[in-house]
Amino acid sequence: MGERMNRRACLRVLGLSGLTAGLSTVRTRPCPAQSVGESSGFQSSVIASGQVRANRANPTILDGKVIQPRRELPILDQTDVLVVGGGPAGVVAAIAARRAGARVTLVERYGHFGGLWTGGLVLLVIGHIVKGGKQVCQGIGEEIMSRLDKLDGAIINRRPGTNPTADAEAVKYVMVEMIEEAGVNVFLHCWGVDTIVTGNRVQGAVFESKSGRQAILARTVIDATGDGDIFAAAGAAFEHRSHNVGLVSRIGNLDRVDSTKAAGSPKPRRLGSPTPVRGVNWVNMRGPEVDGLDVATLTRMEMNHRKFIWRNMQKTRQAPGYEHTYLVETAPQLGVRITRVLRGLKTITLADLKAGTRFPDVVGVGGSDSGNHGPWQIPYGSLVPAKVENVLAAGRCVSAEIRMADLVRLIPNCFVTGHAAGVAGAVAARDRCRPRDVDVAKVQRILRQQEAYLG
Amino acid sequence: MSPNAKRRPSVDTPTLKVPTRARILVRGACLVGAILLLLPVVPGASAPVVVPALSPFVAIAALLATRTFHAVALVGLAVGAVGLFRRRLFCRWVCPVGLCTDGAGRLGRRLGRRTVRGPKVGPWIVLLTFGGACLGYPLGLWLDPLAIFTGLFQLGPDGGVTFVLLAVIPFLSLLLLSLFWPNLWCTRICPLGAFQDLLFAWCRVPGSVLRRRGSENQTRETRRRLTRRTALGMAIGAVVAWATGLVRGKTSRPLRPPGAIDESKFVGVCTRCGNCLRSCPSGIIKHDLGQGGWPSLWTPVLSFRDDYCREGCTRCAEVCPSGALERFPREGKARVRIGLAQVDMDVCLLAEDRECSACARWCPYGAIRYVFSEAQYTLVVEVDPDKCTGCGACETACPTTPKKAIVVSPIATPPNAQLGSFGAQGQAKRRPILP
């Protein structure tokens, strides 16, 4: 539908659709999960009996090496913009591209949206303001925040100049709502593992899920995986970095701490910071600096961190007055901060931040983690791989030098790069051009229409 | 008593008379020129250094104290050389302070104040200063009138009320002194004038090359008296410098601008002209109001509250007239040590596992690393003392309030040990001593 209408008309319809909770615009597609076979009159039914997978081509051992034979992959979907990764960057990118008139498919490895914000329990939203209190993260990112405002118990500290803390479940809910309203086609539990490449042109991506290995064809692919899985698979140049890998947890019953008993003894450490849930704090962890792409390392981190968190909680409970506190949960997702970082056409640098460089191809403005510096412009070139075509990076893996990584990876800055990548991807798909040739002025115009702040 | 005071003025040594119109005009022009240089309207970052550097008193005392020759001293030495031939020529024709104090004196006389004839303390200030300078601590450089005049122009980036007051107080005191006791400053106290007198007298004692026919009244007796006085004054100066040297710079050492010479010398060699405060593009150099004890009053100290010492910036050292801040090449800034960053992990956000990387990000020299401590299961900030210059970028960036978790502390070792590596002298110092 979007292609036939002009953008403004499309936006209007999409805006109206917000009122009808997405009923009008969600595209009806044959959903594989809908066919459940004849009812057996029991809670469970037989979908197919004794079926042998048609497309099986099992790896075999040849000369002592495990070889995966060639095989045809079923095409799950065909779309304009494919967004891989449903974190803050991916969700915003998908909504932005859809609102810019493209057909959008979003795939996410876990069963929910929000990435490290929700699955990683990094609930504090830092980076949307700069020195002096100016809020630089606007657009769809701000829309998510203001939707959280309207929900009861979804967000706290939403005052100008402060960093709010959101509730993970509220964020997951709001994101589902917004994705549905926008009419994005979604596949959860889908892990992007490879790209479909002809020459240096990416034409889609390959996913692994319970449905097996499947392909989605797309005009533009947005890599919002955080780890740069997609651009790396496509052969784009990147920098492989180490960073701290931690595990966030939440502790509860802090409202039941007996302050009279606790008065005499030192306050236990790692009590974290408040969340919208009463008496529950989220506790961050920095963890050691390791390679977040190494599965053995990730395993070790998970296990070590879980041991530490449990034991530390027991220590806290032994402190006078803290007997009722307990470990609510550890984050389902390990806190990997930085792994692969794109080598883009342009790179976000600290020198540019200090100099306050203004880029002609600005597609967003980044904020500060502690409000001690000014805004920094994000050039479109930092999302575009230097050599590979039809891929755009969004989120923490955009092209940035090592000293900027800790700013680029902040949630609001992921909103901003996601927003830019989504719009640029939609424009590239509609104009049938490579992302590097996109009319940046048009991208900037649409971003401004979508209320993004470009400085 | 001064021998000069007793004898009558000779033919070629006119005393300070009521200024003639021509002299007023020339001095007025010099005053305007000095103001233009200091404002600084004159282009060139080093322009303000000219005014305080005109003083031969400062140039020679600094030379004695630091035992390093700076090109900027040539200005003062040239003025001194002129003074050898014409007594107090500088005072009569150039000195911008003299014009102001004369004006205040005239007003004072009109208000009924009388010219007082007190003892001449000027020569003693000069001799004590030079005596102290021989031991690295010139006692009276801060009394140099040109430095006091320069200190008036503190149009720095933060012109608060206290800031303006601090700049105005020394010069205002001079004017008030001249208002109540006309001529007292110029003829009795001013070390710059007294230095010119002494120099002139020494060049005319029997046996001197510069002795002229017109000065026959300079006898052997005057030479003896002059020698005695010079020896006594310098000896007292040296003793004072030695005695105060036992405690000076050892009890407390505030953070000094980059290139500062050893603290025990710094408080003496610094003229308090305020050039460095004014030239600093970050506005981090402030007046010392007692951090470093009373001998350090009015000297420059650093505050990293709002900004830090920029990489590659050499401005303060360039405008220092006395060499209290040693000049260093722009490329060598990364090796000029101001202090050393120290972390208080009780305040640091990392101890609470907070998501902060401000100090490491803003360190221009890559001296800060976060290292995971297995025992504490969190990150600990490590500062590489070889890379850290104490520029304060980390302290400025640190988000903790009111106490900063990372603070630059003065270092115990003399900072010019680092500076030395630029010159041949320093390399000699660094060469290991072989048996």
B377 and A CB contact within 8 Å: yes
Contact of B232 with B239, CB cutoff 8 Å: no
Subunit contact B361:A246, Cβ cutoff 8 A: no
Inter-chain residue contact B352 with A126, CB threshold 8 Å:
no
Q: A-contacting residues of B 252-281, CB under 8 Å?
A: none
- State the SS3 of A33-98: HHCCCCCCCCCCCCCCCCCCCCCCCCCEEECCEEECCCCCCCEEEEEEEEEECCCHHHHHHHHHHH
* Nearest CA distance, A86 vs chain B (angstrom): 23
- pLDDT at position A267, please? 87
* Subunit contact B397:A308, Cβ cutoff 8 A: no
For B102-160, the pLDDT digits (tens) are: 889 989 998 888 887 778 899 999 999 999 888 888 888 889 999 999 888 875 445 56
Chain A nearest C-alpha distance from B390 (Å): 19
Average per-residue pLDDT for chain A? 90
> In DSSP terms, which residues pair with A81 in a beta bridge?
A104, A220
First to last CA, chain A: 33
Confidence of residue B355 (pLDDT cuts 50, 70, 90): confident
What b/e string do you get for B113-124 counting C-beta neighbours within 10 Å, with b at 16 or more?
beeeeeebbbbb
Is pLDDT of B428 > 70?
A: no
In this structure, the number of other CB atoms found within 10 A of the CB of residue A360 comes to 10
CB contact under 8 A, B379 and A350: no
From CA A412, how far away is CA A136, in angstroms rounded?
9
Residues of B in contact with A370 (CB under 8 A): 356, 358, 397, 399
Q: Which residues of A touch B396 (CB under 8 A)?
A: 372
The b/e string for A215-240 (b: 16+ C-beta within 10 A; e otherwise) is bbbbbbbbbbbbbbbbbbbbebebbe
Query: Among partner residues A126, A283, A350, which is closest to B361 by beta-carbon distance?
Result: A350
* Residue B209 confidence (pLDDT): 65
Neighbour-count burial for A298-322, b at 16+ CB within 10 Å, e otherwise? beebeeebeebbeebbeebbebebb
Count each helix (H run) and each strand (E run) in chain B, helices first.
20, 6
The pLDDT, as a whole number, for residue A197 is: 96
Q: Among residues of chain A, what percentage have pLDDT more than 70?
A: 91
Best mean pLDDT range from A23-32, B117-126, B200-209:
B117-126
pLDDT for residue A49? 82
A contact test, residue of B377, B380, B395, B404 with most A CBs within 10 A: B377
Confidence (pLDDT) at B252: 67
- Measured between beta carbons, the chain B residues lying within 8 angstroms of A407 are 361
- Residues in B touching A350 (Cβ below 8 Å): 361
Mean pLDDT of A428-436: 96
Closest chain B CA to residue A247: B353
Query: What stretch of H or E contains B407?
Result: strand B406-409
Which residues lie across from A194 on neighbouring strands? A206
DSSP B250: T
Q: Are strands A65-67 and A60-62 parallel, antiparallel or unpaired?
A: antiparallel
Across the range A272-282, mean pLDDT stands at 95
Read off the pLDDT band of B5 (50, 70, 90).
very low
d(CA A225, CA A398): 11
Cross-chain Cβ contact A270/B379 below 8 Å: no
pLDDT score, position A22: 36
Dihedral angle over CA of A231, A232, A235, A241, nearest 10: 120
Listed in sequence order, the residues at least 6 apart from B22 whose beta carbon sits closer than 8 Å to its beta carbon are none
A243-246 vs A289-290, strand pairing mode? antiparallel
- Between B160 and A387, name the one with better pLDDT: A387
The distance of B317 to chain A (nearest Cα, Å) reads 24
Mean local confidence (pLDDT), A346-372: 92
As a whole number of angstroms, the distance between CA B138 and CA B288 comes to 18
- B221 pLDDT exceeds 90? no
Q: Taking CB atoms and an 8 Å limit, are A284 and B378 in contact across chains? A: no
**CB–CB contact B399 A124 (8 Å):** no
Q: B397 contacts in A (CB within 8 Å)?
A: 370, 372-373
Q: pLDDT tens across B16-47, in order?
A: 555 578 888 888 999 999 888 888 777 777 78
| Residue B431 confidence (pLDDT) above 60 | no
Please tell me which of the candidates B354, B360, B374 has its beta carbon nearest to residue A284.
B354
| Residues of A (384-413) whose Cβ lies below 8 Å from B | 403-404, 406-407
- Residue A195, number of CB atoms within 10 A of its CB: 26
Q: Residue B176 pLDDT more than 80? A: yes
Query: Tens digits of per-residue pLDDT, B42-78?
Result: 777 778 888 889 999 999 999 888 888 888 888 899 9
Mean pLDDT of chain B: 82
ω into B402 cis (within 30 of 0) = yes
Which of A235-239, A330-334, A389-393, B202-206 has the lowest average pLDDT?
Answer: B202-206
**What percentage of chain B reaches a pLDDT higher than 90?**
31
Nearest CA in chain A to B377: A287
A284 and chain B in contact, CB less than 8 A: yes
The whole-angstrom distance between A283's CA and the closest CA on chain B is 8
* pLDDT at residue A63, as a whole number: 93
How high is the pLDDT of residue B419?
43
DSSP β-bridge partners for residue A75 = A215
Q: Which of B354, B372, B378 sits opposite A289 (nearest CB)?
A: B372
Average the pLDDT over A148-174 and give the result: 94
- pLDDT of A28 over the 50 cut: no
Q: What distance in Å separates residue B309's CA from the closest CA in chain A?
A: 14
Q: Classify A63 in phi/psi space as left (phi over 0), alpha (psi -120 to 50) or beta.
A: left
* Tens of pLDDT, residues B362-418: 999 999 999 999 988 999 999 999 999 999 999 999 999 889 999 999 876 544 444
Q: Which residue has the higher pLDDT, A145 or B249?
A: A145
Helix (H, G, I), strand (E, B) or coil at B409: strand
Q: Which of A169-178, A429-438, B268-277, B411-420 has the weakest average pLDDT?
A: B411-420
Specify the pTM: 0.81
CB-CB neighbors (< 8 A) of A371 in chain B: 399
Interface A-B: count of C-beta contacts within 8 A: 54
Q: Which of A38-47, A215-224, B61-70 has the lowest mean pLDDT?
A: A38-47
Q: Phi/psi at A163 (nearest 5 deg)?
A: -95, 115
pLDDT category at A2 given cuts 50, 70, 90 is very low
- Ranges A13-27, A85-99, B181-195, B310-324: which has the least confidence: A13-27
Angle between helices B220-245 and B122-134 (to 10 degrees): 60
Within an 8 Å CB–CB cutoff, is residue B355 touching chain A? yes
> Angle, to 10 degrees, between the axis of helix A168-182 and the axis of helix A139-150?
120
pLDDT of residue B85: 81
pLDDT at B423: 35
Residue A197 main-chain phi, psi, to 5 deg: -125, 135
What's the mean pLDDT in B320-324? Answer: 91
What are the structure tokens assigned to A253, written together? 């019953």
Please classify residue B217 by burial: count the beta carbons closer than 10 Å to its beta carbon, then call 0-12 exposed, 13-18 middle and 19+ buried: exposed
Confidence at residue A278, expressed as pLDDT on a 0 to 100 scale = 95
pLDDT of residue A19 exceeding 50:
no
Q: Which of A370, A404, A407, A413 is the mutation pick for testing B, counting most B CBs within 10 A? A: A370
Cross-chain residue pair A286–B358, CB shorter than 8 Å: no
Of B352, B360, B396, the CB nearest to A270: B352
For B399, the closest chain A residue by CA position comes to: A370
Quote the pLDDT of residue A153.
93
**Of B129 and A50, more confident:** B129
Q: Which residues in B lie closer than 8 A to residue A373 (C-beta atoms)? A: 397
The pLDDT, as a whole number, for residue B342 is: 93
- Report residue B7's pLDDT band, with 50, 70 and 90 as the boundaries: very low
Per-residue b or e along B167-205, where b marks 16 or more CB atoms closer than 10 Å to that residue's CB: beebbeebbebbbebbbbbbbbbbbbbbbbbbbbbebbb
pLDDT of residue B200: 84
Give me the percent of chain A exceeding a pLDDT of 90: 79
CB contact under 8 A, A369 and B355: yes
